Amino acid sequence: MLVTDERIDKDSQMPEEWRPLAGAELLERLRVTGRPRPALDPTMFRRLHDRLNEALESSMPPGLGSTPVVITKDKLTQVLTCEAHHVASQFGERRPSQAMACGALIDSLFRQLVVTGRIEDPMADGLAALTLDDHQRALVEWINQLRAPQRSELAVEVERQAAGLVARWPALSPEWLPRTQEPIKASLAGGRILLSARIDLAVGRPAVDHASVGIVELKSGKRRAEHRADLHFYALIEALRSPAPPFMVATYYSRTGELDVEPVSEDLLVAAARRTVAGAEALLRLATGGEAHRTPNPLCGWCDALPTCGPGQERTGTSIPQDGSRARELSDEVELSGDDGLSGEVELSGEVGLSGADELSGDDGEGQ
């Protein structure tokens, strides 16, 4: 049985006396957002659907193939951050990293905890779960080939986070209909656009009079600004498919035990729809051969396109060889040094090295 480790992560900005929510308190925080749950209003959702459809239809470029353009949270974030970064990210597989491995293992363990109520041997359980997932084959091989010190480092972090989950997450009543890794999709513009996501945990029955579904996303890394936008995207898809919004969306940070809960409102959904349309316009333009705009941003140092990107090199203040090896070196440096070694600029962007963890583990199947 795991021993609870109450240590708050060294990078957390939380005051020392702060303690993460646990048990009934955690459940209560998920259940009660402080705002009334939105009433079911079919006309509002029809309006939202129609406006979104209209905006997407008008953005549809000529020459688009018959295969639907799949829009995931990662694609949205990438393309809205920098189109060139998005294009560069489409080629080649992401290289596994400690953070990615930790994220994938913790996602599996969280699922196990929700379904079975227990975690016995985090590394063994997590690896066994990942082994069944064809999409994680490369990551599992990478973990199995780690040298003892690196594997031990990974195991320590996985066990620490798993212990936190076991200690803080109470059993969810089956009456809440907990669903893990639930695929949700919304087909728009006559089937030519598919909004797609995979939710770590959804609870609640479909709405009758009021919104009654809650969505929880698990993150093994640090807080990043785009996590909220991701959740808003989930809320939008759920609202379109049900058609009723979730009453809340939440991110649970297994590294620290922090829980961000946000009530869902019409304003939130409208803003998410606007962001989705903006991202879709860019993705559609790129899908038909449009030029990718370059937007320098704090992630430039980790972008595969940096060797050929003038604005990115200017932003990072460095000249990078054209073969891209510097980008890979930088990525390794960050991984080895951990978050403590990151500059202030990178801190602003959130931990880049950790971003892959959730991307690979959580959304691998989104577009399928």
Partner 1 sequence: MTAGPHPASSAFVSPSVNAFTAQLLAPAHICIDDGVRQSVRDHLLSAVPSLVDELPAGDQVVITLPVLRQTLLGPDGSLRVDEPFTWKPAFVRRSLGLAAIESCLQHRHGTPAEAVGAVADEAVATWVRTGWRTFHWEPWYGGLSVGARSVVLAEAATWATALWSGVDWNQFASLPTVGGPDDQWICTAARTVRLKGRSELRVGIAAPHCCRTGGHGGGGSEDNGPGPSMALLSVSGGAPSEDWRTELGFLALVASLRSPSRPVPARVAGLWPDTGAQRMIEVDAGILGAAADRVIAAVSELAAARRDSAA
Q: Which residues bind partner 1 (CB under 8 A)?
A: 108-109, 111-112, 114-116, 118, 120-121, 124-129, 131-134, 174-175, 177-187, 191, 194, 205-208, 240-244
Nearer to partner 1 (CB atom), residue 73 or residue 223: 73
Q: How far apart are CA 207 and CA 41, in angstroms?
A: 10
Nearer to partner 1 (CB atom), residue 186 or residue 306: 186
Q: How far apart are CA 162 and CA 171, in angstroms?
A: 15
Nearer to partner 1 (CB atom), residue 3 or residue 132: 132
207 CB burial (10 A radius; 0-12, 13-18, 19+): buried
b/e for 12-25, b at 16 or more Cβ within 10 A?
Answer: beeeeeeebbbeee
Provide the residue type at 128 as one letter. Answer: A
Nearer to partner 1 (CB atom), residue 64 or residue 177: 177
Nearer to partner 1 (CB atom), residue 123 or residue 346: 123
Give the count of beta carbons closer than 10 Å to the beta carbon of residue 294.
19
Kindly state the tokens that stand for 177.
Answer: 């209909």
Nearer to partner 1 (CB atom), residue 228 or residue 241: 241
Contact present, 68 and 188 (Cβ < 8 Å): no
297 CB burial (10 A radius; 0-12, 13-18, 19+): middle
To partner 1, the closest distance from the beta carbon of 184 in angstroms equals: 6
94 CB contacts (<8 Å, ≥6 apart)?
100, 356, 359, 360
Q: How far apart are CA 367 and CA 115, in angstroms?
A: 25
Q: Helix 352-363 to helix 73-81 angle, to the nearest 10 degrees?
A: 150
To partner 1, the closest distance from the beta carbon of 261 in angstroms equals: 22
**3 state DSSP class of 321:** coil
Residue whose token pair is 């000249």:
319
To partner 1, the closest distance from the beta carbon of 136 in angstroms equals: 11
Nearer to partner 1 (CB atom), residue 330 or residue 357: 357
To partner 1, the closest distance from the beta carbon of 97 in angstroms equals: 21
To partner 1, the closest distance from the beta carbon of 344 in angstroms equals: 39
> First vs last Cα of the chain: how many Å apart?
37
To partner 1, the closest distance from the beta carbon of 208 in angstroms equals: 6
To partner 1, the closest distance from the beta carbon of 72 in angstroms equals: 13
To partner 1, the closest distance from the beta carbon of 352 in angstroms equals: 29
Nearer to partner 1 (CB atom), residue 145 or residue 173: 173
Nearer to partner 1 (CB atom), residue 88 or residue 249: 249
To partner 1, the closest distance from the beta carbon of 80 in angstroms equals: 24
The runs of H, that is alpha helices, within 98-247 are 98-116, 122-131, 137-144, 148-168, 225-241
CA distances from 64 to 57, 91, 283, 289 (A): 12, 20, 11, 10
